[in-house]
Structure 1
Amino acid sequence: MTLRTRLLIVVGAAVLLAVAATGYTLRAAARHPAHTGAGARIVLGTPGQIVFRDMRMGPGKDHLAAVASASPGAPRADSGLVCARFHAAAGTGLCLRNRPGLTPSYEAVVVDAALREHRSYDGAGIPSRTRVSPSGRMAAWTVFVSGDSYGGTNFSTRTSILDTRTGHLVPSLEQYRVIKDGAPYRSADINFWGVTFADDQHFYATLATRGKTWLVAGDTAKRQVRTLHQNVECPSLSPDGTRVAYKKRVRSAAGGNPWRLTVLDLRTMRETPLAETRSVDDQAVWVDGGQVAYSLPGDYGSDLWTVPADGSGTPHRLMTAALNPVF
């Protein structure tokens, strides 16, 4: 083979690679709409809007973004605010963001409707869950202080509750009294995670102890939680306060696919498995009274899906490369 022939082969291969890369980029752009540019004006609580964490690779990754709920595939408005976890209600937002350092640490930032920062709190751990009460006054967050997954048993969490109006912070729910099966309960292995608020005083969360999990009802005035139902993780209260969507553990993590998305009727304690049969490791969000949204792994970390809350229907992919939606 002559030198000229070898050069022609090399050049031809380079051209083919360039064409393939261009085609992939165009297909990816078609699947994932472009940003409108960092610093776009986003107002929390705007009707007909979804605010979420953008998971696409690029300069806007982890920024809060927004789209019209009627057009979830439209170009995304990029706020420029970086969050590892986010939730909002009534014009108040809670943004957890990672802090650089040799050990995992975070900053919990309270923002107003225009995403202006008002309060911040530093802590150790890896951000996991966030929730804001319906009035916007109370905020809660969970971090991993050891481990980084709910899949096994070798992890420890810390859940904090903040009154955003007064600045009063409960650093750990482990300070609360536990009533289990009607009697006071103490154990060194107690973990809490996944707060969801009914109002500014009452909430639900997961309590884990001795290898089991419980749905607990909490009271910030009494500084107390009481167990309600076993095998509930990452609860999310429905808009009317009558049902909880949650992860139910249906098999061990070693067997794969450990959770089934389920809804619990708080009046009857009747469980309804939802039509999503894939394992969901997320704290679901109620879109409205009839459907819930949740994340599943996607090409860019996470996609958002919805499914009816009554066990009917089929899952529907709402958005690609998105997490922590606020409707």
Structure 2
Amino acid sequence: MSRRTRPAAFAALCLALAGGSTAYVLQERADTQERISSPPSVPVATSPAAAEGPVLVFRHTGVDQEYGVVATVPLADPSGPRSFTGVVCDRVDATATTRSCLRTGRGVVTSYDALVLDADWEETGSAPLPGLPSRTRLSPDGSLVATTAFVSGHSYLTRGFSTATEVRRVGGASYGNLEEFALEIDGEPAAPRDRNVWGVTFADDDRIFYATVGTRGRTYLVRGDLVERTLETVADDVECPSLSPDGTRIAFKQADGRGSGRRWTPAVLDLATGERTVLSGEERNVDDQLAWLDDDTVLYGVPRPDEPGVSDVWSLDTDPDAEPELLVEQAWSPGVVR
């Protein structure tokens, strides 16, 4: 995998967006090329040992020679020097033994792939994706991997978008597209033709998971069973769920508004009581699948409005009055390896 693919694509995007005179475009090309050829502006570890122990895994988004490359930082020092893996991903998740990487291959024909890698970031398997990478999650022990891709459209705001979400056993068989599982909405069998499933989070390493089902303009949190091949609704208006480490709560994004005016706010659902806590201290649009740093803190990426392609990872306590804090700059798609 070439780490040069991403910076070249970013440069092309910058040039495509640039307007004005030929001189302006040429200067933009020179400036962009200089940036993507430069070393990272954040601290870089000088030894792989810096990445040992519990780490935070993420996609580096600094516009430099490491753009798009997966990096790690120690959980004890998230703002400290980062170690680069050499692997380019659009989305990433990791456990102590397994890594999942969704990537876009740009060439004469654009391709999309889901890679499985070992603890040393060496590829052990791959499968094609039917469209643009969106989400990936591993079960706690790394034996199950879920992937979501957009089959048509490029975001949840696109009219008529379609997703394909698949769960497979690492090194083994696929359970197929989750849209083919038997669906119950509020206890009644349902088979809507417009259903979409996305944002898997695993409850165990064998069969139980949670996900989002969207149909007829509504979204539902569903509890899935890989053995029974079933999906049962648990709550309304839940998108991109993430199960807490203690298994008691779901962190998710909650939609406010519709269409181009839609905005997502992080929230937490208590599975035992159904109580919903909106984390209103975060006032920006959070269009991400949250991750849990610990039992009381969630993580997510937020793009920088003034720097295309650059995003940062923020942390937020699950207290409703908490304010977000910058955790890792120039980062996206965080995953915690405990």
When the two structures are superposed, what TM-score results if normalisation uses the length of structure 1?
Answer: 0.85
* 1:193-230 deviation line (CA, Å, top 9, x unaligned): 00000012100000001110000000000011101111
Correspondence for 2:3: none
Distance 1:236 1:104 in 2: 30
Given residue 302 of structure 1, which amino acid in structure 2 is its aligned partner?
S
2:284 match: secondary structure:
coil
The equivalent position to 1:119 in structure 2, one of 111, 122, 125, is 125
* Structure 1 match to 2:314: 305
- Structure 2: how far apart are the matches of 1:198 and 1:43? 30
Matches of 1:78 and 1:202, distance apart in 2: 33
User: Are positions 1:321 and 2:330 aligned together?
Assistant: yes
1:148 to 1:226, Cα distance in 2 relative to 1, 3 A: same
State how 1:4-83 maps to structure 2 within 5 Å.
32-36=41-45, 41=48, 46-83=52-89
Letter in 2 for 1:267: A
2:211 paired with 1:236: no
Letter in 1 for 2:187: G
Tell me, in whole angstroms, the C-alpha distance in 2 between the residues paired with 1:304 and 1:206: 23
| 1:185 positional shift | 0.8
- Tell me which residue corresponds to 2:198: 193
Deviation of 1:36 after TM superposition, in Å, equals: 4.6
How many matched pairs?
298
Q: Shift of residue 187 of structure 1?
A: 1.3
Q: CA 1:176–1:185 in structure 2 vs 1: closer, same or farther (change >3 Å)?
A: same
- Matching residue's letter, 1:242: T
Q: CA 1:111/1:232 → structure 2, altered by over 3 Å: closer, same or farther?
A: same
Q: Which amino acid aligns with 1:308?
A: D
Query: Is 1:161 equivalent to 2:150 in the alignment?
Result: no
Q: Does 1:272 align with 2:274?
A: no
Q: Distance in 2 between matches of 1:90 and 1:222?
A: 28
Is the 2:253–2:288 Cα contact (8 Å) retained in structure 1? yes
Pick closer, same or farther for the CA change 1:276–1:140 going to 2, 3 Å: same
- 1:10 corresponds in structure 2 to none
CA RMSD of aligned residues (A): 2.4
> Quick one: structure 1 residues 41 and 254, their matched pair in 2 at CA, closer, same or farther if it must change by over 3 Å?
same
Runs of at least 5 residues in structure 2 that lack an aligned partner in the other structure: 1-26
Residue 291 of structure 1 corresponds to: 297
**Match for 1:306: what amino acid?**
S
Structure-2 change in CA distance of 1:104 and 1:251 (3 Å): farther
* 1:93 corresponds to: 99
Query: 1:255 Cα shift?
Result: 2.5
Contact in 2 for aligned 1:43/1:114 (Cα 8 Å): no
Q: Distance in 2 between matches of 1:106 and 1:302?
A: 22
**Alignment CA distance shift 1:113-1:42 (3 Å):** farther
Answer whether contact 1:104 1:124 (CA < 8 A) is retained. no
Deviations 1:264-311 (CA, angstroms, capped at 9, x unpaired): 001111110112122100000000001000011123521110111132
| Deviation >6 Å, runs of 4+ | none
Residues 203 and 103 from structure 1, CA distance in 2 versus in 1: closer, same or farther, beyond 3 angstroms?
farther
Is the Cα–Cα contact under 8 Å of residues 58 and 70 in structure 2 kept in the other structure?
yes
2:90 aligned residue: 84
Contact 1:49 1:68 in 2 (8 A): yes
Give 1:326 shift.
Answer: 1.9
After TM superposition, give the deviation of residue 170 of structure 1 in Å: 2.7
Render the CA deviation track for 1:31-78: whole Å, top value 9, x for unaligned.
Answer: 9414458xx74898x434222111111221111111222332323211
Q: Corresponding residue for 1:109? A: 115
Q: Retained in 2: the 8 A contact 1:291–1:306? A: yes
Distance (whole Å) between structure 2 residues aligned to residue 43 and residue 237 of structure 1: 28
Structure 1 regions of 5+ residues with no counterpart? 1-16
Please tell me whether the aligned partners of residues 235 and 244 of structure 1 are also in contact (alpha carbons under 8 angstroms): yes
8 Å contact from structure 2 (residues 91, 102) kept in 1: yes
Q: Rate the CA distance shift 1:111–1:43 in 2: closer, same or farther, 3 A.
A: farther
Check the 8 A contact 1:194/1:234 in 2, yes or no: yes
AA paired with 2:270? D
2:264 is matched with: 259
- For 2:109 and 2:154, how far apart are their aligned partners in 1? 13
Q: 1:88 to 1:48 in 2, by over 3 A?
A: closer
- Of the structure 1 ranges 309-318 and 67-76, higher mean CA displacement relative to structure 2 is found in 67-76
